[in-house]
Every structure is written in structure tokens, then in C-alpha cells.
Amino acid sequence: MIITEILARNARMYPDETALIERDGTSGARREITWTEFDHQANQVANLLLSRGIGKGNIVIHLLMNSLEWLPLYFGILRTGAWVVPLNFRFNAEDIKYCIEIAEADAIFFGSEFVGAIDEIRESITTVKHYFFVGDGSPAFAENCLSLSADQSDVAPEVSISIDDNAALYFTSGTTGRPKAILLTQRNLEASCIVENQHHRQTHDDNFILIPPLYHTGAKMHWFGSFIVGGRAVVLKGVTSEWILDAISEEGGTIVWLLVPWARDILTAIENGKVNLDYYRLDQWRLMHIGAQPVPPSLVTDWLKVFPHHQYDTNYGLTESTGPGCVHLGIENTHKVGAIGVPGFDWEYAIVDDRGIRVKPGVPGELIVKGPGVMREYYKNPEETINTIKDGWLYTKDIARVDDEGFIYLVDRKKDVIITGGENIFPVEIENFLQRHPDIQDVGVIGFPDERLGEVVAAVIEAKPERAVAVEDIHRYCEALPRYKRPQKIFFDCIPRNPTGKIEKPKLREKFAGYREMFKS
């Protein structure tokens, strides 16, 4: 079923029930809408676009911070048959311009945070004919979306949309160079609803605490598992340990998807007494799951000591696979923490060498996956598409291995492998080891140029608040590692992560190893 039809069905089945709640951690403000209001707002956005000649085959940029308006706007664009293009809110003006030009967008919706960036680039953009501002007031060059859509019909427009139609362009985060445009279909979006619900068994009574940025597939596609059964969700604006726990406690949250830094922050806040769990109502919280980046097993072990009743899942996916779920641990497999898991519902996998031949169990190789979420293509990039999708298999560029029970372990990204004296070293392995140190908050491992060995291991370490860690301490701790894997260079700094929690390795390599990485646009 097309996801806009799922929204219409929810409005029919649960018309007066709460669908979405917005909580602003900074101001303490709270807003909510019912499923009927959600559906009607999407219809009004769709009718506004159609009244401006924007419909099937057109392309619409969506540039907002998390808010109550985010999802109705997303569904409204889809209801016209146009492609929706959610953009990373960290993109600067030049990134936004690049994405608009690649997409050849016809219209753009944007929030107050982006007025300056849009104004800076709009005169050099030729394709965009309509600028819609989402918020109070409006800059002179844009129309106000909220006031205009309020005057539109709240009846769904009659637009013929097929399950095989193109639906969305998602741009990669750009941490490894210029963002790539990934084209997803209506079938891809539908599949993510089904896969997520199969994995986490959401029911209509669940309440999903929605924290990560909504432009990212991981955030929305995890929520899709609740959406398909009409479960409510809380959109959280701003992230602190207290705000997350407040939302779970006061809204009766049952499912939370966290990024590694947020989970670690919660544990640290509990450990140092900043957070007292006795002040919160958390008994109903049944599932905590993590994805978007490698998860240190020590983090999960520590988490389950504090929250022993929690179900836990690790989720692996890519934007190219319509977000999470092509591999997942499974809530029944907590004993295998450290693995990313097994193939997701309706997915299959293989681990292959550089020739595309399957390797033996235990041997590292490239993880490839096949299933209903595989993207249609890299938009306007046929060469990269051919290199990435082969006979229906999506080549992930991630190095993995499988154990004798069939559980897949992520070893590292191909591009992040450190080669020292001819030996391959996988940074994730060393990061997981260092994460077990009681005074380390976060760590990133990179290659450091060496005249003799080519590269040696360098560790960038972020200590826990009010903890002191010395270079000598780290060297002693790492004596448990094989000699060639021990960090030869140790630096102390904050670990840069993007909005989806991935360590920004290019920034670390440039700052500490002197590598300036150049990528083709």
C-alpha cells in the first residue's frame, strides 16, 4: 500500500486519536495533532502545490528542522505524485544549491533557520519557481505555506500514483565528499514500513519517541513501523539526556531509537548523578534500539545493567537500502551483541571478495544485500549505479564477516581500513576495545602516515566529563592488543559526529593526520 494511503487509513480508523506530539526541550512547549488533522494538513499542502502547477513528475525540496509540520509536509508533497527531497539541516548554502541543481527542483519548502542560506543562493538558481516559508511571517521572496495551505481544501486530491512510481530523492550526508542523490520508489517506502514492523513488533498501543533528524531515512523509517499500525509518536526538538527521559516518562514512550552518543550520554548522566531514574516513569519503556553507526558491545552491556528489562536491537542499513533493516540483530538475540545480526525480513545477504565471489565463514569481505528496499539508482549517476547495484545486489562498501551461527559482524568501511606494513587493521575493532576503558566517552581511530609502514594506528580520544586520561594510561591499556594494532599516536579532542551519529573520519584525518581528502563532485 502506498504510504499516503496508510495515512488516510489511519485517519479513518483512529480519527480523533493523537498521531504526533511535538515537545520543545528548550521552551517546554508542547503541541499535538490527531490522525485526522495529520491527514487533512497533508491534503492541504498537496492542494496548495497542485494549485501552483506542481504535481506528478515535479521535484520539491523539503528543508526543515524537526517539528510538528515536518511529516504532514512530507506526506503532502508525496500526495501530489511529486518527488520529495528532504535535505540535511547541516548543509550550508553551497551544499543546498548543489542539491537543488542536481535535483532540478521546481519548489522548495524551508524553515526560519534557512532564510539566509536560501536568500544567498536563490538568484543563481534557475529551476525553482516557488519558495514556501514554513513558520510565522515570511521573507519577501517567499510565500507563507501555513497561511496559504490553511485556505486549501482538506480533501485528498485525485492523483494516480503507482507503487512503482519514483517517490523521493535522499542525499547522502556528505561526510565523504559531495552528497550523492539516491532515488527511492513508492515500493521502497512501503517496504520499510513492513520490515520495521516485523522487526520491532510495534502495535497500535506503542508510542515512538522520535529524536533523530527526520530528513534522514533512519529516523522516519524506524517510525514507519509504528505508523503502519497507527501508533502515536513524539517528535523531540533538541536532545539532552533529561529531555529524552522527560519525554519517555511524561508521554508514556515505549520505543526509543538512540544514536550511540545519546545512549552513552544517558549512562554517563546516571553514573555521575546528574540524572536520578527515580524521578521518571519508565516501566512502560520496552525497546531501545540503535543504528546508523557501529555500536560498541560494551555500551549495550552497560545499558542492560541499568535497564535489564529492556528489549534491545541493533539495526544496520544504508540510505541506498531505504534506511535500516536489511540486517538487524533481533530482539531475541541479545546474547549476540557485537554482531549487526542476520538478514532482515525479506532480505538476503552475501559476503564477497573483490571479484564478487563469496568468501568462507569467518573471512572478511564486502557485505552485499538484496531486498525490497534497494534503491532504484543514484540519480544522474549511471556509472556509480552500475558499480553499486549488480544483478539486484547492493554493494555496501562495508567489510563484514559471518560466524558459524550465521550472524554478521561489521568489520569496517572499505575506505577506513588502515594498512600498516601490509597488514589490514579495522578501526572499529580498536574503537570497541578502547570504548571499554572506564574513563573514555568516545573514540575515533584513523590511519596516520608513516614512512616505514605506510600507516600506523592513531586514536583520537574524548574523555568522560571530569575524568583525566593520560597518554601513558592508554598505552598501558592497549598492551592487551596485538602489537601492530596498538595506537602509535594518541590525541585528545572531541569526536565529531554527524546528525546521524557517524564519526566524521575525514575531519579527524585532516586535523590529526594531515590528510586532505579530495572527492569528485
Please give the full DSSP string across 391-427, using - where no structure is assigned. TTEEEEEEEEEE-TTS-EEEEEEGGG-EEETTEEE-H
Confidence check: pLDDT of 516 > 60: no
Domain assignment present for residue 92? The answer is: yes
Domain assignment present for residue 355? The answer is: no
Average pLDDT over residues 34-53: 98
Burial grade of 278 (CB within 10 A; 0-12, 13-18, 19 or more): exposed
Q: Which domain holds residue 110?
A: 3-13+29-189
Domain boundary among 167, 189, 211: 189
What pLDDT shows up at residue 499?
65
Confidence check: pLDDT of 144 > 90: yes
> For the domain that residue 142 is a member of, what is the CATH number?
3.40.50.12780
What is the value of pTM for the model shown?
Answer: 0.83
| Cβ-contact 62, 145 below 8 angstroms | no
Confidence check: pLDDT of 126 > 60: yes
Cα–Cα dist 50/38, whole Å = 19
pLDDT tens per residue across span 462-512: 998 888 889 999 999 998 887 878 999 999 999 988 766 678 887 888 888
pLDDT tens per residue across span 260-304: 778 988 999 999 899 999 999 999 999 999 876 667 788 899 999
Confidence check: pLDDT of 78 > 90: yes
Rounded to a whole number of angstroms, the distance between the first and last alpha carbons of the chain is 36
More confident residue, 178 or 64: 64
| Cβ-contact 349, 387 below 8 angstroms | no
Domain boundary among 156, 189, 222: 189
What pLDDT shows up at residue 421?
60
Cα three-residue angle 392-398-402, rounded to 5 degrees = 90
- 492-504 burial, b at 16+ Cβ within 10 Å, e below that, comes to eeebbbbbbbbbb
Domain boundary among 166, 189, 212: 189
pLDDT tens per residue across span 222-245: 999 999 999 999 999 988 999 999
Domain assignment present for residue 147? The answer is: yes
Closest C-alpha among 274, 255, 156 to residue 203: 255
Domain assignment present for residue 443? The answer is: yes
pLDDT tens per residue across span 348-387: 999 999 899 999 999 999 999 999 999 999 999 999 999 9
Domain assignment present for residue 48? The answer is: yes
Q: What percent of the chain has pLDDT over 90?
A: 69
Confidence check: pLDDT of 88 > 70: yes
Average pLDDT over residues 204-215: 94
Domain assignment present for residue 521? The answer is: no
Confidence check: pLDDT of 521 > 60: no
> For the domain that residue 428 is a member of, what is the CATH number?
3.30.300.30
Domain assignment present for residue 340? The answer is: no
Number of folded domains that form the chain = 2
Is the dihedral angle over the CA atoms 345, 351, 356, 358 positive or is it negative?
Answer: negative
Domain assignment present for residue 283? The answer is: no
| Cβ-contact 465, 441 below 8 angstroms | yes
More confident residue, 342 or 512: 342
Cα–Cα dist 220/235, whole Å = 11
